[in-house]
Amino acid sequence: MKTHKIRFGFACNSSSVSSLILVDPGLKYDSCEKWIEVKDKREFFARVMFWQIRDGKDEENTIFVNRVCGTELNTEQLNEYVGSYLMSDRGPGDTFSFPTDRKGNIHEEFVREFLDYVDKKDLSWLSYDDNYKEDAYDLISMHASMGVSLLQYFPHGVARKDENYWTIFSQKTGNKIRLSFDYSQVAPEKSTIPELIDIKLTNYCPYECEFCYQGSDKKGNHADKEAFKSIIDQLYKYDVFEIALGGGEPTLHPDFNELIDYINEKNIVVNITTRNWNWIKSYIDSCLEGMADNYTFYPKIKSVAISTETPDMINKVYEYTLLGMEQKLKGKMVNYERLNECIQFQYIVGINDKLEEMLETCFQKKYRLTLLGYKTTNRGSLLKPKAQEWRSIVKKYLWMRSYIGIDTVLAKDCEGLLDTSLEKLLLEKHEGRFSCYIDAVNYKIGPSSFCATEDMMPFTDLKENFKIITDKS
């Protein structure tokens, strides 16, 4: 199984934030169990699937699992040892699950291709929890013998096939992977349907930031509610995984909550970018209240990116969160890092001399920081990056790679630096190949939120529009 691309965490804009790591195909691990017989491997994964479903319909599920996996196990055999194995230190635990379709059912086509692949005699399984290994990142591997363990990073994934490769997207973690079962398959250059769509919900914004490449202001207009819903209907039709909702200030759209509910009804993940402190506080409150009642709570908006120029906002969010935990949780336990998955920050590199302080603060507080390059449209064209040794600062902090995202604009500017300092880092440097941008205010579509006016076209059919975009890219 060949990994073509991997991303950790949710995206809050259409710039393809990338991370990590491919391992030398020759790398071996002493801790791998070798399974040679096809029957043994198929029966193991049949048990894994049976355990994953576990909805009380044992007889019905036994028939389903045997049909999909090509096994002949009874219910008692399917229950045998797997529960204890999966939940033990040596098993994949709840980090392993077969991907599903949009409706939440096991994706049968993926499973069949996967099992045909694992039938190969040179495949082995990593037999303990790799999250505790110091070299855990190395397990994201092109090597056939490690291909199965790779799926452990994508719990509760939704699968979609696009020509000769699969994309698996986790609606709970934001992790996304493109892979193919044919190791000779070259990495895809584009998709036929976008995986992510950046949508402008409004061009109204009271903050009027001097660097705003959208040119949003207090005179801006909101997207029509019904027109926006028609866009979401198409995204659902074509199995788009997630939406990055922006503006202007999206939280100030008069129908914001209704539209968020509508997106969730379509089982599409939605993330946003905001500067609205009052809304940010309400979001943190809702997360804390949900987590107080349910440890596995996931908010309707999976991730919020806060646009800021200084560490002050980072500290402000951190202090408000700690206060909220004390007041709302009332002795109940909550994983702080799990809570932090819901919040990230965005910073335009070069806008001031706060880069190192921003990186240090985010690392200390365990927040993700996405570094953005200048977009030279609208008010962004009036500014120039301040002179500073930002490349050396980024290089200094690359060891924090799980806390740093880099957008496509910056990736092009610092490609040489990153390729030499961390040669395994995967960077997406092109817009409009796996994602695109829809201006819902003007009902237009283009490759990115900062593309030229002539690159925008009327939004009609997503698949047809996107083909035109990818052909140009």
Q: What is the mean pLDDT of the chain?
A: 79
* Domain around 464: 196-472
Which of 89 and 334 is assigned the larger pLDDT? 334
Q: Is the pLDDT of residue 257 over 80?
A: yes
Would residue 188 count as lying in a domain? no
Q: Can you tell me the mean pLDDT for 156-160?
A: 87
203-253 pLDDT per residue, tens: 999 998 888 888 899 999 999 999 999 999 999 999 999 999 999 999 999
53-73 pLDDT per residue, tens: 888 899 999 999 999 999 999
Domain shared by 214 and 131, yes or no: no
Please give the pLDDT value at position 20.
26
Would residue 244 count as lying in a domain? yes
Would residue 186 count as lying in a domain? no
Q: Is the pLDDT of residue 189 over 80?
A: yes
Domain shared by 224 and 75, yes or no: no
372-384 pLDDT per residue, tens: 888 878 877 777 7
Please give the pLDDT value at position 143.
33
Please give the pLDDT value at position 404.
80
Domain shared by 173 and 292, yes or no: no
How many domains does the chain divide into? Answer: 2
Please give the pLDDT value at position 442.
96
Q: Is the pLDDT of residue 278 over 90?
A: yes
Task: Check: CB of residue 18 under 8 Å from CB of residue 37.
Answer: no
Domain shared by 251 and 291, yes or no: yes
The winner for highest mean pLDDT among 21-25, 89-93, 116-120, 422-426 is 116-120
Please give the pLDDT value at position 429.
62
Domain shared by 215 and 172, yes or no: no
Q: Is the pLDDT of residue 420 over 50?
A: no
Please give the pLDDT value at position 102.
84
Helices 38-53 + 58-69 axis angle, to 10: 140
| Residue 160: band (very low, low, confident or very high) from pLDDT cuts 50, 70, 90 | very high
Please give the pLDDT value at position 295.
67
Q: Is the pLDDT of residue 334 over 60?
A: yes
Please give the pLDDT value at position 376.
79
Domain shared by 125 and 248, yes or no: no
| Residue 403: band (very low, low, confident or very high) from pLDDT cuts 50, 70, 90 | confident
Task: Check: CB of residue 240 under 8 Å from CB of residue 193.
Answer: yes
Would residue 113 count as lying in a domain? yes
**Cα separation of 242 and 227, whole Å?**
18
Domain shared by 239 and 108, yes or no: no
Please give the pLDDT value at position 374.
80
| Residue 337: band (very low, low, confident or very high) from pLDDT cuts 50, 70, 90 | low
Residue that terminates a domain, selected from 155, 180, 205: 180
**Cα separation of 426 and 422, whole Å?**
9
Would residue 12 count as lying in a domain? no
10-49 pLDDT per residue, tens: 666 655 433 322 233 344 444 444 456 788 878 878 988 8
Q: Tell me how crowded residue 388 is: count the other CB atoms within 10 A of its CB.
A: 15
Please give the pLDDT value at position 135.
37
Q: Is the pLDDT of residue 138 over 80?
A: no
Q: What's 231-272 look like in SS3?
A: HHHHHHHCCCCEEEEECCCHHHCCCHHHHHHHHHHCCCEEEE
Would residue 249 count as lying in a domain? yes
Domain shared by 175 and 261, yes or no: no
Q: What residues are paired with 32 via a beta bridge? A: 126
Domain shared by 378 and 467, yes or no: yes
Would residue 13 count as lying in a domain? no
Would residue 14 count as lying in a domain? no
Task: Check: CB of residue 2 under 8 Å from CB of residue 185.
Answer: yes
Q: Is the pLDDT of residue 1 over 90?
A: no
Least confident of 79-93, 245-259, 321-335: 79-93
Domain shared by 117 and 214, yes or no: no
Q: Can you tell me the mean pLDDT for 408-419?
A: 68
Please give the pLDDT value at position 290.
85
Which of 179 and 270 is assigned the larger pLDDT? 270
Q: Among candidates 362, 434, 307, 355, which has minimal Cα distance to 7?
A: 434
Q: Among candidates 137, 183, 61, which has minimal Cα distance to 426?
A: 137
| Residue 308: band (very low, low, confident or very high) from pLDDT cuts 50, 70, 90 | very high
> CATH code at 371?
3.20.20.70
Q: Among candidates 447, 385, 361, which has minimal Cα distance to 16?
A: 447
Please give the pLDDT value at position 193.
95
Tokens of 222: 């909101």
Domain shared by 246 and 166, yes or no: no
Contacts of 248 (CB under 8 A, 6+ apart): 200, 201, 202, 203, 204, 205, 214, 216, 220
Domain shared by 216 and 360, yes or no: yes
Please give the pLDDT value at position 164.
86
Q: What percent of the chain has pLDDT over 70?
A: 73
- Strand 2-7: give its sheet, edge to edge: 2-7, 176-180, 165-170, 157-162
Helices 108-118 + 58-69 axis angle, to 10: 50
Task: Check: CB of residue 267 under 8 Å from CB of residue 100.
Answer: no
What's the one-letter identity of residue 354? K
